[in-house]
């Protein structure tokens, strides 16, 4: 059995780790709050006390973490995974991070003889559970080949985008556009409600017309139903929009729209919606 490790068992990570266990791999899991690891123990995973313990002896180590700071700590901090990995093992970073940190992490891995693959995903909680994520890959062909058993267990497709940092750029652009759509949709639906319209009818015009997209249809439905079980947490989208704005700035593109959308997510977080789905950003607008 191929030994793997999975670090970070949030909304996405829990489903991804379960897919690895279901595929018959030997899986060690770690999460900062250990109670989130217990369901994986019940499935047959080994719950490790630290990232280093999880990574020790693993051929593939996958992480799905909140941001650059957490990623740096989990990979390189005290009891971090990277120093515990053997040469030739592959580190797979699936978090939504900045390009500069991804490239730095790739260099740190290389210095230790560890293969590195960035593999952020498109898809959300349901796709993680179903094993139908799409991986955006950046790195060397050898790392992709080594990580293939884990990628195939967790996803249904992958696309290679170039050297390390390439996938981070595309993932941030993807989430940037998702954040803009969600923020605009919240404002539009709040307008319908405050105007006394038949909101279902008005929403169908958006969902079935030119603005329609999978995100508009899914998130709009959750907004109307006030169904805020998290698929994507409000503060994580605020973080992604901040990272996207920085990436745009590094490319010489000043983005006022990234900051405007980010403020909608910050306002929702400050209004107590931080543990809810991004659809909850409409709530502060409803209360005005």
- The CATH number of residue 208's host domain is 1.10.1040.10
| Beta carbons of 8 and 74 less than 8 angstroms apart | yes
| Beta carbons of 241 and 255 less than 8 angstroms apart | no
How deeply is 132 buried, as exposed, middle or buried, from its count of CB atoms within 10 A (0-12, 13-18, 19+)?
Answer: middle
pLDDT at residue 124 in the model: 95
Phi-psi region of 175 (alpha: psi -120 to 50; beta: other; left: phi over 0): alpha
pLDDT at residue 283 in the model: 98
pLDDT in tens, 58-76: 999 999 999 999 999 999 9
Residue whose C-alpha is closest to residue 257's, from 248, 267, 268:
248
pLDDT at residue 1 in the model: 79
pLDDT at residue 205 in the model: 98
Q: Which residues contact 219 (CB under 8 A, 6 or more apart)?
A: 181, 182, 185, 277, 278, 279
Residue whose C-alpha is closest to residue 147's, from 85, 91, 212:
91
| Cα angle value 4/240/9 (rounded, 5°) | 30
| Beta carbons of 72 and 5 less than 8 angstroms apart | no
**Same domain for 88 and 205?**
no
Reading the block at residue 154, the tokens are: 């967790």
pLDDT in tens, 114-137: 999 999 999 999 999 999 999 999
Tell me how many domains the chain contains. 2
**Same domain for 51 and 174?**
no
Residue 133's SS3 state is strand
Reading the block at residue 214, the tokens are: 């999978």
pLDDT at residue 245 in the model: 98
Q: Region 86-111: what's the mean pLDDT?
A: 98
| Band of residue 288 on the pLDDT scale cut at 50, 70, 90 | confident
**Same domain for 185 and 74?**
no
Domain-terminating residue out of 148, 163, 178: 163
pLDDT at residue 92 in the model: 98
**Residue 210 domain boundaries:** 169-286
| Band of residue 152 on the pLDDT scale cut at 50, 70, 90 | very high
Domain-terminating residue out of 163, 183, 202: 163
% the chain with pLDDT above 70: 100
**Same domain for 149 and 14?**
yes
**Same domain for 209 and 267?**
yes
Residue whose C-alpha is closest to residue 133's, from 158, 164, 116, 168:
158
What is the rounded CA–CA span in Å between residue 55 and residue 269?
34
pLDDT at 141 over 90: yes
Q: Indicate the average pLDDT of the chain.
A: 98
Q: List the CATH number of the domain containing 98.
A: 3.40.50.720
**Same domain for 49 and 145?**
yes
Domain-terminating residue out of 101, 129, 163: 163
Strands in the chain per DSSP E: 3-7, 26-30, 46-47, 60-63, 90-93, 115-118, 121-122, 133-139, 155-162
| Beta carbons of 3 and 57 less than 8 angstroms apart | yes
Which is it for strands 121-122 and 155-162: parallel, antiparallel or unpaired? unpaired
Q: Region 190-209: what's the mean pLDDT?
A: 98
pLDDT at residue 182 in the model: 98
pLDDT at 204 over 90: yes
**Same domain for 87 and 226?**
no
**Same domain for 113 and 246?**
no
What is the rounded CA–CA span in Å between residue 186 and residue 207?
13
């Amino acid at each position: 059995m191929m030994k793997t490790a999975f670090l970070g068992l949030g909304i996405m990570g829990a489903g991804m780790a379960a897919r690895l266990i279901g595929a018959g791999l030997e899986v060690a899991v770690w999460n900062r709050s250990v109670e989130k690891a217990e369901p994986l123990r019940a499935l047959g995973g080994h719950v490790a006390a630290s990232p280093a313990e999880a990574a020790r002896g693993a051929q593939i180590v996958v992480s799905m973490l909140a941001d650059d700071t957490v990623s740096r700590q989990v990979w390189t901090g005290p009891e971090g995974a990277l120093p515990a990995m053997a040469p030739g093992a592959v580190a797979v970073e699936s978090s939504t991070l900045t390009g500069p940190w991804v490239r730095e992490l790739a260099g740190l891995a290389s210095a230790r003889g560890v293969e590195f693959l960035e593999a952020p995903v498109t898809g959300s909680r349901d796709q993680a559970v179903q094993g139908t994520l799409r991986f955006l890959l950046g790195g060397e062909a050898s790392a992709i080949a080594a990580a293939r058993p884990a990628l195939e267990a967790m996803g249904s497709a992958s696309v290679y985008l170039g050297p390390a940092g390439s996938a981070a750029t595309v993932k941030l652009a993807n989430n940037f556009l998702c954040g803009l759509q969600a923020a605009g949709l919240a404002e539009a639906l709040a307008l319908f409600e405050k105007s006394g319209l038949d909101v279902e009818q008005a929403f169908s015009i958006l969902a079935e017309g030119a603005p329609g997209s999978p995100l508009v249809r899914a998130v709009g439905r959750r907004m109307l139903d006030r169904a805020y079980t998290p698929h994507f947490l409000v503060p994580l989208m605020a973080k992604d929009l901040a990272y996207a704005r920085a990436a745009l700035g590094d490319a010489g593109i000043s983005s006022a729209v990234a900051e405007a959308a980010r403020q909608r997510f910050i306002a929702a977080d400050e209004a107590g919606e931080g543990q809810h789905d991004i659809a909850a950003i409409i709530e502060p607008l409803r209360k005005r």
